[in-house]
A and B are shown apart, each in its own frame.
Chain A
Amino acid sequence: MLPLAHFEYLAPTEAVEASRLLASPDARLVAGGTDLLVSMKHRLFEPRLLVSARRIAEMQGIVPAAGWLSIGASCTLRDVSRHGIVQQRLPALAAACRTVATPTIQAMATLGGNLMLDTRCMYYNQPAGWRASLGYCLKREGSVCHVAPKGRGCYATQAADTVPALWLLGAEAEFVSVSGTRRIRVSDLYREDGMNWLTVRPDEVLTRIHVPLEDRSVAHRKLRTRQAIDYAQVLVAVAAPAQRGEPWSAVVSSVAPRPILVESETAEGLAELSFRGSQPLSTHLASAPWRKKMVRVEVARAVDALLRSHAGSG
């Protein structure tokens, strides 16, 4: 019914080999495939080569190490959310994994894939015939952004459910390429550009996600139309101060190409500051003004949840 275009396919066993293959411009890495294959069916891109993450050893397994939890990028969201240490020490990450799409997709999609998720827009994530009718957009084949025709850039939004929580948990992403290995904080991974939203090169292979086991108190919230299948209209994570004198922080996502960090001296002020700091555009079918209001509601609810759990734990 909706066939894929032809491509070549390789399944290397080492990340550095994958990196070498990904240096060619028409190559893509496939892990869970739950977003990539959809985009390929919609002809958002037609890679010449798919490099499978399936056999790459460095991307497997969840292991604790010296105060950190090291999660292989190929681990599925289901595996991550069910891991004992994640459930006990990183409940916000477990919760974030469980809000992705559906349980079946959580059993396919990987944590690495979620971090590297393409930015999304109602003018971009559409079937091929639709885009041909409207006229293509800046992010794919076209020369104009339908969200902001007079603007200069692409406003497709960061939509990955696990990113706000990982950001506030202080997670780091490990990338392997032919030029070596480097670790980048999740908070440094994204750029304010819907077309080039990552600060890493296409040939850098995300192999592991390292999350500090610091028992930070983080709450994850996802506002979506339906409680399954849907991407977020607003995505937030909120962290309580780890110690006296530190601010409350929120990461607000699904409103811009880059998640937005908001800090507030007080718990009460965080929602209002987040509201003022978010300027959603018409990238979703739900209206931008409503989504902006929802930033305030969702942040306030996340703050409440943290305050309640603190009160509960004495």
Chain B
Amino acid sequence: MTHTPTPLSSILLVLFASVIGSFGAVFLKLGSQHLHRGIIGLFNWQLAAGIALFLGSSVPFIMALKHGELSVLYPMVSLGYVWTMIWSRILFREPITRGKIGALALILAGITCIGIGGR
């Protein structure tokens, strides 16, 4: 099997997409804190920003897919879990434990394997 190598520009675009997506998760978490005020709490700018960031993160991803290979790029989106763990530590004071790091390592390895298997 010969594959055209995935260009660096595609990889950088996907990294960018994963960072945007991780901020999407952060804003969903921020917005979810308004739900204690009932259903009306759903309409807040943090939730809107979270959803917009999630949708927006697909733009650089799709741009990256034009020249790169899905089986390489798709697993890289899951790097967003790593960024999210860092932001959660900083913003929500959630501890980074050995268990969480181990779980993330297993999940990233698993998604990479599925990417390889999808070739």
A pairs with B: no
Q: Report A's interface with B, CB cutoff 8 A.
A: none
Q: Report B's interface with A, CB cutoff 8 A.
A: none
